[in-house]
Structure 1
Amino acid sequence: MTRLWLCLSLLLPTTSLAQTHPEFATVGDWTVRANPANGNGCYMEKTFDSGTLVQIGVVPDQNGAFFAAYNAAFDGVEEGAEGSVLFDFGDSRFQGAAKGAFHNGVPGGYAFFDNPEFAKEFGKRTKVLVQGGGGTEEEIDLTGSMKGLRSIQACRDEYESN
């Protein structure tokens, strides 16, 4: 299994995203945003019917990327608490460290990764089962994620050229 590495500085500010993370594009159900605070990284996000907000994006100043999930139903999350997360794509799995966090007051967590294979799996699959600490588990529909990942790259290209 590939190791996902913990990132200590990916927490998104709790101020308005419209002010700090400008929208770059909408791709299907995914919104692509820029994050000037992490080396002009870009990420995509989507809120699912379950209420889970999922974010995935690049962190240029740390040569990697992140996956984050937040949901008011995630009980027992402690800010900064370390745990583990498993991404099960069926015939491919990625496991690693995660960190508890809150986004606009909503509990969840995030993991940092530097393995491009994770993003490839995320983009080419139609679903992933995410298992986190405390027994949390959610199957996420990845429809349109490849187009979203391409838009993240276009966002990066634009911000790198400015």
Structure 2
Amino acid sequence: MRSFVTLIAATSLALSSAIAAYAQNPVPSASDVLVKYGDVEHWTVYKNQTRGDCVIVGDFGPGSVQMGLTANQEVGYLGVFSKEDIGLKNGTKSEVFVSIGGHLYGGVATSTHGELKGGYSGGYILSDNPEFKRAVAKKYEMIVFPETKGTFVVDLKGTYKAMAMGKKCMKH
């Protein structure tokens, strides 16, 4: 547990500059118009016709993961959401973490408990870290909300192909 807390502190500090620079919520809102662009493995790529960007979505048990780029396309995001009660309170700043290949990645997001379509709660991680992008694309599993009661595991099979499709989607 002590190493988990140490990793949380280090990760939060490392990501604070990326988060401060890109404060607008990149996650599609319930009112955005999403049109299916294509499927890869168990991921679906959508063109967001409201914002003009694309989002990669995968559902896993009680959870859902979304990936995409922020408005200026320099920073990516990974949204992690669950139908389970993960202890978030509306409008508060919450730390959101995922573990990939033994490395902890995290960010701070304004919680959205009960406000997302389908009753999901969660937040997102902003990152311009190429190691994080590589880990999502190349590793085999991701543990979302590690060491919380809302933990779920995401099979990362197909993320490399889904990210390539997302990139194509952004060009159309």
- TM-score normalised by the shorter chain: which range applies? 0.7 to 0.9
Larger strand proportion, structure 1 or 2?
1
Give 1:127's match in structure 2, choosing from 123, 141, 163: 141
How far does the alpha carbon of each residue in 1:49-84 deviate from its partner, in whole angstroms, 9 at most, with x for none? x22111111123363121112222134322332121
- Return closer, same or farther for 1:75/1:60 CA change in 2, 3 Å cut-off: closer
Please name the residue that 1:8 is paired with: 24
TM-score normalised per structure 2? 0.75
Over aligned residue pairs, what C-alpha RMSD do you find? 2.4
- Residue 37 (structure 1) shift: 4.3
Letter in 2 for 1:129: I
- Contact 2:38/2:46, CA 8 A, preserved across alignment: yes
- Contact 1:97/1:111, CA 8 A, preserved across alignment: yes
- Return closer, same or farther for 1:135/1:84 CA change in 2, 3 Å cut-off: farther
Please name the residue that 1:117 is paired with: 131
TM-score normalised per structure 1? 0.79
Q: How far apart, in 2, do the equivalents of 1:116 and 1:103 lie?
A: 29
Greater RCO structure (CA 8 Å; 6+ sep) = 1
Q: How far apart, in 2, do the equivalents of 1:31 and 1:111 lie?
A: 20
**Percentage of identical aligned residues:** 22
- Contact 2:80/2:144, CA 8 A, preserved across alignment: no
User: For this pair of structures, how many residues does the alignment match?
Assistant: 153
Please list every run of 5 or more consecutive structure 2 residues that lacks an aligned counterpart in the other structure. 1-10
Please name the residue that 1:84 is paired with: 95
Task: Please identify runs of 4+ aligned residues in structure 1 that moved more than 6 A.
Answer: none
- Residue 36 (structure 1) shift: 4.0
**Does residue 107 of structure 1 match 2:116?**
no
Give 1:21's match in structure 2, choosing from 29, 34, 47: 34
Please list every run of 5 or more consecutive structure 1 residues that lacks an aligned counterpart in the other structure. none
